[in-house]
């Protein structure tokens, strides 16, 4: 009967150690004293099932041998399908702000709203002055931790007079992150 942890690797006592598989898409690992398939799976971040599938020579998951060479498959990378669907700039009453010469004309208090194709856990709104390299002098203008039921994040930005730059949002959920396109913005001095 197979347990969750399995038996620790055994020394070879007159038995032939099974050879490693002919093909290994991951890395070869030499079993050490105290190892179990479960502990090896934890160490490398893969499942016991994935290790068993990569090692047809292991007929009983409770029996592995010290110095046996096994294949540890690569960690499956999660698919990151998070996208910013739009980034909008609104007046406090919810009206879309005008664009002139390619620049959104900001109010002193501007709502910056980002929509995502799915729920995000945190969104960071950033401003880069124009004429700088990407992220070179970016400054944080706001953070939103949206509710768990919408794909919308927004901040109310107190825009300093003379602001000129590019605004973008970066959001993440479960280790998957997305960055919006840059939007050129300006606030004329009053």
What CATH number is given for 1-77 in this structure? 3.10.350.10
Q: DSSP secondary structure string, 74-116? A: PPPPPP----EEEEEEE-TTSPBPPEETTEEE--SEEEEEEEE
pTM of the model as a whole? 0.59
Give domain limits for the chain.
1-77, 84-186
Residue 89, φ and ψ in degrees, nearest 5? -120, 125
Fold of 84-186: Immunoglobulin-like (2.60.40)
Question: In CATH terms, are 1-77 and 84-186 the same topology?
Answer: no
112 Cβ contact list (under 8 Å, min separation 6): 87, 88, 89, 90, 125, 141, 142, 154, 155, 157, 167, 169
Strand 103-105 to strand 183-186: parallel, antiparallel, or no bridges (unpaired)? Answer: parallel
pLDDT tens for the chain, residues 1 to 190: 344 556 666 666 656 788 999 999 999 999 999 999 999 999 998 999 999 999 999 988 888 999 999 999 998 776 788 999 999 999 999 999 999 999 999 999 999 999 999 888 889 999 998 766 666 688 999 998 877 678 899 999 999 999 999 999 999 888 889 999 999 999 976 5
Residue 57, φ and ψ in degrees, nearest 5? -70, -15
Q: Where are the alpha helices (DSSP H) in 11-74?
A: 37-44, 48-54
80: Cα separation from own chain's centroid: 7
Nearest-5° Cα angle at 47, 177 to 53: 120
Q: Which uninterrupted H or E stretch holds 164?
A: strand 164-173
């Amino acid at each position: 009967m197979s347990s969750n942890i399995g038996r620790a690797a055994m020394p070879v006592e007159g038995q032939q150690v099974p050879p490693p598989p002919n093909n290994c898409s991951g890395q070869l690992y030499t079993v050490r004293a105290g190892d179990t398939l479960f502990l090896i799976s934890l160490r490398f971040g893969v499942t016991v099932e994935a290790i068993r599938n990569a090692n047809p020579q292991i007929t009983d998951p409770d029996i592995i041998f010290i110095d046996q060479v096994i294949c540890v498959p690569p960690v499956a990378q999660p698919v990151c399908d998070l996208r910013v669907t739009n980034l909008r700039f609104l007046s406090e009453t919810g009206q879309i702000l005008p664009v002139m010469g390619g620049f959104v004309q900001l109010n002193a208090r501007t709502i910056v709203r980002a929509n995502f194709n799915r729920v995000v856990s945190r969104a960071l709104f950033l401003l880069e002055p124009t004429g700088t390299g990407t992220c070179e002098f970016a400054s944080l203008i706001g953070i939103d931790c949206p509710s768990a039921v919408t794909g919308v994040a927004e901040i109310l930005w107190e825009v300093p007079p003379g602001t000129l730059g590019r605004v973008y949002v970066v959001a993440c959920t479960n280790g998957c992150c997305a960055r919006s396109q840059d939007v050129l913005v300006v606030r004329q001095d009053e």
